[in-house]
Structure 1
Amino acid sequence: MTPLVWERPEPSTRSALSPLNRDRIVRAAIALADADGLRAVSLRKVAAALDAGPMRLYRYVDTKEELLDLMVDAVYGEVDLPAAGGDWRAGVRSLAHGIREAALRHEWFADLLGGRPQVGPAALAHLEATLAALRCAPGIGEDPAALMRALQAVNGYVLGAVRHEVVELRTERESGLTDRQWQETAGPYLMRLFEAGRYPTLARVVADGPHDDPAGMFDAGLTVLLAGLAA
């Protein structure tokens, strides 16, 4: 069985007009994805961006899936890890906001979260830091089942909220309508429904609910989740 990319040594550098290594390959792939989404990423396109032949890249990565794994781990590496032994809520909050901010810098990152666990070194360091923080929450301690339930709750919230925000950004960009412009378009229709007495709970939320910025909404939801874990 072929070792995972994390266990294969970097090929030796050869003298060439365009010297390669995995870091250069990954950075070029990330630049393509940041500009045009994951559809722009292929070994051929990355090779062209590096002024190298596609076959040279196969010395460093075997498949596009390996390249995507390396890209994801590189973005995980951008997230600062909290110092050990600090307040557990602050630690979880810092890690969650770090993932959100990374996904806003690299929207494609949200598309690759979830599914099978990421096992790159930066992703594992992020997971270890999250578990270490949650382990300090009341009632969790040395109970592995409670720790995994807490982890699933946090990851589920962060992944859902981040994907929702990224989809909204894409929709706004592709439609050409800002959120305010869309609200102005849909507002009269919704008001007619509300005035007719339909959807009374929704009407109250729209009229009286908080209208936080996206970062504030993300943090408010995280606060509710952490309060639930603490209880």
Structure 2
Amino acid sequence: MRKRSTGQHARLKRAPLSRERVVTAAMALADEKGAAGVTMRAIAARLGVEAMSLYNHVAGREDILDGMVDAVFGEIDLPIATMDWKEAMRDRAASSRAVLRRHPWAVGLMDSRSQPGPSTLRHHDAVLGALRAGGFSVAMAAHAFSVIDSYLYGFVLQELSLPFTSPAELDEVATDILRDLPADAYPHLKELITEHALQPGYHYADEFEFGLSLILDALNPDKV
């Protein structure tokens, strides 16, 4: 009896190709290389298959992007309608931020799909449901949803663009900026760096909670 080669064993053990496997591989590529790195050829190479075989499970790249966005929404904790609406929105915003930091490519795609998947629809319905349960009218729930997400996505974009990721890196960047500034120029910027950003315990991430609280405190379910 002829022995199977190593390659034959690998093919026999490989999990069957599916839409879920294609989307998961695409997300891993995007996490490493950004959305631009998600090509049919690159996905196929990661899965160890021919690119044409992907079309048995997805319609094309746009279909894959639909699935990727839906999967990201599926990772976000859903707000609970029975909770206080502010706490529900706060918890959901914190979960969203954590997920978007894991998948930086997703920020610009979250609401871009014309064919949202079930996780996306479930997420949006749960957010609106928590706001409606909190006393918001349909129109005010829409306003609240929009302003919260505008802040959330904008903050994550800014956070991901910063030239530092730790207090040590911030100290290095800020010190370099101070060193290069003309002696008598930009006094308010120098004040901000020395008396705020370089103080012990400062973390840029804390700004997220401050801004979110301002928005939630300003929202009023009784306003028409």
TM-score w.r.t. structure 1 length?
Answer: 0.77
Tell whether the 8 Å contact from 1:113 to 1:159 is kept in structure 2 after alignment. no
Aligned twin of 2:176: 185
Alpha-carbon spacing, 1:62–1:129, altered in 2? closer, same or farther (3 Å): same
Percent sequence identity over aligned pairs: 34
Deviation by residue 1:58-106 (Cα, 9 ceiling, x = unmatched) = 1111121110110111121111213331111111111111111011111
Seen in structure 2, the aligned counterparts of structure 1 residues 161 and 17 have a Cα distance that, compared at 3 Å, is: closer
CA distance in structure 1 between the partners assigned to 2:66 and 2:113 by the alignment:
11
Matched, 1:20 2:40: no
CA 1:206–1:16: 2 relative to 1, 3 Å: closer
Q: State the distance in 2 between where 1:208 and 1:24 align.
A: 50
Counterpart-to-counterpart distance in 2, 1:190 and 1:118:
50
Q: So what's the TM-score if we normalise by structure 2?
A: 0.79
Counterpart in the other structure of 2:125: 128
Alpha-carbon distance in 1 for matches of 2:127, 2:34: 28
Say if 2:47 is the partner of 1:50: yes
Q: 1:153 and 1:79, CA in 2 relative to 1: closer, same or farther beyond 3 A?
A: same
Looking at structure 2, the residues matched to 124 and 192 of structure 1 have their Cα atoms a distance apart, in angstroms, of: 55
Looking at CA atoms only, which structure, 1 or 2, has the larger radius of gyration?
A: 2
**Structure 1 pair 17–204 and aligned structure 2 pair: CA distance change class (3 A):** closer
Q: Find the aligned partners of 2:32 and 2:132 in 1 and give their Cα distance.
A: 39
Report the AA paired with residue 169 of structure 2: T
Q: How far apart are 1:117 and its partner, in Å?
A: 6.2
Which residue identity is paired with 1:104? R
State how far apart, in whole Å, the 1-side matches of 2:195 and 2:111 are: 34
Equivalent positions of 1:76-225 (< 5 A) are: 76-116=73-113, 119-137=116-134, 140=136, 143-168=137-162, 171-172=163-164, 178-190=169-181, 192-193=183-184, 196=185, 198=186, 200=188, 202=189, 205-206=192-193, 208-209=195-196, 212-225=202-215
CA contact (8 A) 1:114 1:159 kept: no
RMSD: 2.8
Counterpart of 1:230 in structure 2 is: 220
The aligned amino acid for 1:147 is A
